[in-house]
Structure 1
Amino acid sequence: MLKFAVKEWAELISGPISMGEQDQRVFAHADLPAVNDKLSITLRLKIHKYSNWPIIFHKGTEFIIRTPILQLVSNKSVLHARFSGNWDSNVGIEVPDDGLLLNKWYHIAYTLSDPEKRLDIYVDGEWIGFYGITNVKVHKVVFNDGPLHIGRSENNLGINGEISNFRYFNWRLSPEEVMEDFINETPKKPIVYGSKIALIHVYTGKYLATKGIKYDFGQKDQQYMVYAIFFYFNIK
């Protein structure tokens, strides 16, 4: 009998919305994409001020039931990413070491997979840390059917800041998919005459540049520029 995994995702908050310590959005397990053994969450986050272990999101009926959970270290802006395992209810990492700046938008991605035995964290499309399960035959990630809290949970207060583009996926996003999500979340400005634009390679995040590079395509070893031409059609 063949089994097919259906990839589903939902944008739970488009936003941006302001969040205080007492604010929360709650989503029932049945209203989320069905998760088997993998999940991912992406969001845009801006922290206004520090507080005591504030919750960004937490799925579970109790604080020790926490797959997934993301909060900030007390009175810092270091990401505290955790999940529950069958050997320990509090497993994960803290990143980045220097924390996030206040009053600045960041794109955060949390990806978790039991088959791959790992938790990964990305900030602005860049992989910044992971936790790997070493006892792979015995230790497993414990998922749950509790509600998903964005902001305040039953036991902890929420963040002081703003959240937008909160997305819940029932698979582990690849680094390329995280980068695509980050690029698509970046605030966009209209392109007008005189605008400066850059071309970016989606999978690496690297920008196309010609400064200081000469291409041997002509008799005079000329350096070639890249031009983008935009057409506007007014179709009625």
Structure 2
Amino acid sequence: MTKHIVREWVELISDPISMGNQDQRVFENADLPAVIDKLSVTIRLKIHKHEPHYATIFHKGTNTDIRTPILQLTPNKSKLHAKFTGNWTCSAGIGELEDGLVVNKWYHIAYTLSDPEKRLDIYVDGEWVGFYCIQNVKTQKVIFNNGPFYVGRSTTHHIGFSGEICNVRYFNWRLSAEEVKEDFFDEFQKKPIVYGSRIALVHVSTRKYLSTKKIQYDLGPDNQQYMNKGFTNDEKIAGFL
């Protein structure tokens, strides 16, 4: 019988909240969109310091062996460590990405997982940065669970992070690369432009930014800026303040 599911998502945390490494937010499985064989989680995260241990960002499951999904930061360098439970191991996924997170800087992170596609993908600020593929596609499967979804500290052995988090979203499908970019830019689009606002113009596909003289935008390690002499009065009237 073919499985059908309605695409649903929920924003579990909206406004920024501060988290210590012992803090947690718990969401019961019944309060989440029903998952069959795919899911995605997107978050905005700012860490205040590098922890000397694995720091959990989020984890769904009842113990350390049941963890689909789990996203952690590696000790001292805060590299993303993304895993899930399979029918052949409790620790499948990405051991660590090449670059660690910088302290006191906001990031948008997306974790997408699909058993039919047999893959896990990680995005940072809308950019695809890592993936893991299941090799034995006929026999190896992702094991999803009905446990709680934790943000921050989860089980006894999963200590959390020190920092801030917001816009935690849980989806019951695997987001495409285009949907991840839409989620990344979504919060910027919600903010109204008013007199005195500082704005940045971005090309969605290339993620290249247009900057004005003497203004530098903190927009990530791959930020590429181009200089502009300024706007005319007509352009200012049209809404470029």
Whether TM exceeds 0.5 here: the answer is yes
- Is 1:131 matched up with 2:135? no
- Is 1:200 matched up with 2:203? yes
Q: In the alignment, is the contact (CA less than 8 A) between 2:81 and 2:97 conserved in 1?
A: no
Task: Output the CA distance in 1 between the equivalents of 2:75 and 2:31.
Answer: 31
Q: In the alignment, is the contact (CA less than 8 A) between 2:70 and 2:84 conserved in 1?
A: yes
Identity among equivalent positions (%) equals: 62
Matched residue SS, 2:182? helix
Task: Output the CA distance in 2 between the equivalents of 1:165 and 1:63.
Answer: 25
Deviation by residue 1:107-155 (Cα, 9 ceiling, x = unmatched): 0000000000000000000000000011100000000000011000112
- Please name the residue that 1:172 is paired with: 174
Check 1:176–1:205 CA distance in 2 against 1; reply closer, same or farther (3 A cut): farther
Cα offset, 1:3, TM superposition:
5.5
Q: RMSD in angstroms over aligned alpha carbons?
A: 2.6
Could you tell which deviates more after superposition, 36-45 or 155-164?
A: 155-164
Cα offset, 1:186, TM superposition:
3.7
Check 1:157–1:195 CA distance in 2 against 1; reply closer, same or farther (3 A cut): closer
- Please name the residue that 2:214 is paired with: none
Matched residue SS, 2:41? strand
Matched residue SS, 1:49? coil
Task: Output the CA distance in 1 between the equivalents of 2:38 and 2:84.
Answer: 12
Unaligned stretches of 5+ in structure 2?
212-225, 228-234
Aligned runs of 1:15-164 on 2, under 5 Å? 15-51=15-51, 52-154=53-155, 155-164=157-166
Task: Output the CA distance in 1 between the equivalents of 2:179 and 2:43.
Answer: 14
Task: Output the CA distance in 1 between the equivalents of 2:63 and 2:104.
Answer: 31
Could you tell which deviates more after superposition, 157-166 or 190-199?
A: 190-199
Task: Output the CA distance in 2 between the equivalents of 1:130 and 1:145.
Answer: 24
- Please name the residue that 2:230 is paired with: none
Matched residue SS, 1:88? coil
Deviation by residue 1:177-224 (Cα, 9 ceiling, x = unmatched): 0000000134846244796552533x5545689x89xxxxxxxxxxxx
For the pair shown, the structure with the greater C-alpha radius of gyration is 1
Q: In the alignment, is the contact (CA less than 8 A) between 2:200 and 2:210 conserved in 1?
A: no
- Please name the residue that 1:223 is paired with: none
Q: In the alignment, is the contact (CA less than 8 A) between 2:21 and 2:55 conserved in 1?
A: yes
Task: Output the CA distance in 2 between the equivalents of 1:195 and 1:49.
Answer: 28
